[in-house]
Amino acid sequence: MGKRARSGSVGVVDLARELGVSTATVSRALNGSSAVRAEQAERIRAHAAARGYVPNRLAKGLSATRSRAFVGFVVPYVDTPAYSTVAAECARLLSTDGTQMILTITENDPERELRQLREMTASRVAGLIISPSAGILEESRAILGALPVVELHRACGIRAPGVFSDDEQALMDAVGHLAELGHREIAYVGTSQELSHGAIRLRAVRRGMERAGLEPDRMPTRLLEPTRRNGRAAADELLGMPNPPTALLVGGGALSVGVAEAVRASRFRVPQDLSLIVYGDPEWFALSNPALTTLRVSYAELARTAARLLSEALDVRESGAEIAAESHLITPEFRLGGSTASPRS
């Protein structure tokens, strides 16, 4: 009969060494934190059970009295689901591990962004999730380079992991859908090319036009800072043209809200007079009449990935290893609603 493992003889350090992960990752998995991937957590718990691991409740109680780590969440705005939903979900996920999130808003102002990053580092945050401004300053990049950082939505040329939406195929499919319906006068309202995702989205729309046999250079295009107000103004301008487009495609969440508001207030009926495809995942898109055809982005999945990447980056930093600068892509879903139809002959 084999020897039975002595109760409590195996510790978190032993488990981490045997599994090749950090002690923080083992602790999170054993405590049920959602910051650890499900398959990894299951593997850790199974190994702990097989090794006869028994948690030290006294040590756990003592550790709970220590100061909790703080991380920063730096975004340009919080008045759109792309940021508000992700911020709320990240804060919830990180808090399960005892990490508190500090939210700061840059309003896409590089100088303000720098001041806030200085304040964050002075407050000794453990790491950051950031959606950088279009004109991010070199000093800001230097600050980010010294911390565990996760880029969200936008890249700014630093070596860091990031989570982004992989918009190319969905936007090409959207253009193809409009072309199949017979639209030739398609207008695009998108994010400024100064932002990394703005350039990628415009390129995808132009490729979709070419693939459909249309001329991208003839496509009315408005590239703007992604705000609700700018979306409204762009739609008003496009619909006021002597020969307005028969279809509007929007490549941005905040812009989509503004465009939808402008269209609803106009004389154009959707989809009889105008086909409309929007971007994002606000709940009211599905409640519109008709329901809007959407490039649906899972903001919950973006948040889960960002929180996990930051937790992993903090673990790696604790171990002294180099943080891998991997990009994680979330693919939007092209969801057909009732806001697209063939143009009037």
pLDDT per residue as tens digits for the range 246-302: 999 999 988 999 999 999 999 999 999 999 999 987 666 666 788 899 999 898 999
Residue 135: inside a domain: yes
Same domain as 224, residue 115: no
Q: List, in sequence order, every beta strand (DSSP E) within the chain.
A: 70-75, 100-105, 128-130, 149-152, 162-165, 186-191, 221-224, 247-251, 275-279, 293-296, 327-330, 333-335
pLDDT on residue 1: 35
Residue 124: inside a domain: yes
Which token pair is 238?
């496009």
Q: Tell me how far apart the alpha carbons of residues 271 and 338 are, in angstroms, rounded to a whole number.
A: 7
Pick from 156, 154, 178: nearest CA to 164? 154
- Whether pLDDT at 127 is above 80: yes
Average pLDDT over residues 72-97: 90
Q: Tell me how far apart the alpha carbons of residues 310 and 165 are, in angstroms, rounded to a whole number.
A: 17
Residue 1: inside a domain: no
Please list the residues that pair with 327 across neighbouring strands: 162
| 3-12, 16-25, 35-44, 328-337: least confidently modelled range | 3-12
Same domain as 106, residue 94: yes
> Which of 273, 297, 321 is the last residue before a domain boundary?
297
Same domain as 238, residue 290: yes
CA angle 150, 85, 297 (to 5 degrees): 80
Same domain as 47, residue 105: no
> Which of 48, 63, 78 is the last residue before a domain boundary?
63
Q: Is 221 left (phi over 0), alpha (psi -120 to 50) or beta?
A: beta
> pTM, whole model, 2 decimals?
0.73
Q: Tell me how far apart the alpha carbons of residues 275 and 260 are, in angstroms, rounded to a whole number.
A: 11
pLDDT on residue 175: 97
Residue 274: inside a domain: yes
Please list the residues that pair with 109 across neighbouring strands: none
Which token pair is 93?
């996920």
Residue 33: inside a domain: yes
Same domain as 106, residue 248: no
Pick from 257, 148, 244, 252: nearest CA to 205? 252
- Whether pLDDT at 63 is above 70: no
Mean pLDDT of the chain: 86
Residue 58: give its domain's CATH number: 1.10.260.40
Q: How many domains does the chain have?
A: 3
Residue 341: inside a domain: no
Kindly report the number of other CB atoms within 10 A of residue 100's CB atom.
13
Pick from 4, 5, 22: nearest CA to 13? 22
Same domain as 173, residue 160: no
- Whether pLDDT at 237 is above 50: yes
Contacts of residue 183, defined as CB under 8 A and 6 or more positions apart, other chains included, come to: 246, 247, 275, 342, 343
Q: Tell me how far apart the alpha carbons of residues 332 and 171 are, in angstroms, rounded to a whole number.
A: 9
Residue 101: inside a domain: yes
Same domain as 175, residue 153: no
Place of tokens 């590239």: 223
- Whether pLDDT at 19 is above 50: yes
Q: Tell me how far apart the alpha carbons of residues 126 and 213 are, in angstroms, rounded to a whole number.
A: 51
Same domain as 264, residue 216: yes
pLDDT on residue 287: 64
Same domain as 174, residue 128: no
Same domain as 264, residue 245: yes
Highest mean pLDDT among 35-39, 69-73, 94-98, 119-123: 69-73
Please list the residues that pair with 101 across neighbouring strands: 71
Residue 303: give its domain's CATH number: 3.40.50.2300
| 45-59, 156-170, 213-227: least confidently modelled range | 45-59
Same domain as 158, residue 306: yes
- Whether pLDDT at 344 is above 60: yes
Q: Give the long-range contacts of residues 90-93, CB within 8 A, separation 24 or more.
A: 90/129, 90/303, 90/306, 90/307, 93/34, 93/35, 93/303, 93/304, 93/307, 93/308
- For 127, the domain range is 70-165+299-330
- Whether pLDDT at 4 is above 80: no
> Which of 45, 63, 81 is the last residue before a domain boundary?
63
Residue 337: inside a domain: no
Which position has the higher pLDDT, 157 or 229? 229
Same domain as 258, residue 310: no
Which position has the higher pLDDT, 49 or 46? 46
Q: Tell me how far apart the alpha carbons of residues 345 and 330 are, in angstroms, rounded to a whole number.
A: 38
Which position has the higher pLDDT, 227 or 319? 227
Q: Tell me how far apart the alpha carbons of residues 41 and 31 are, in angstroms, rounded to a whole number.
A: 10
Pick from 196, 323, 339: nearest CA to 274? 339
Please list the residues that pair with 149 across neighbouring strands: 128
Q: What percent of the chain has pLDDT over 90?
A: 53
pLDDT on residue 66: 29
Which position has the higher pLDDT, 47 or 241? 241
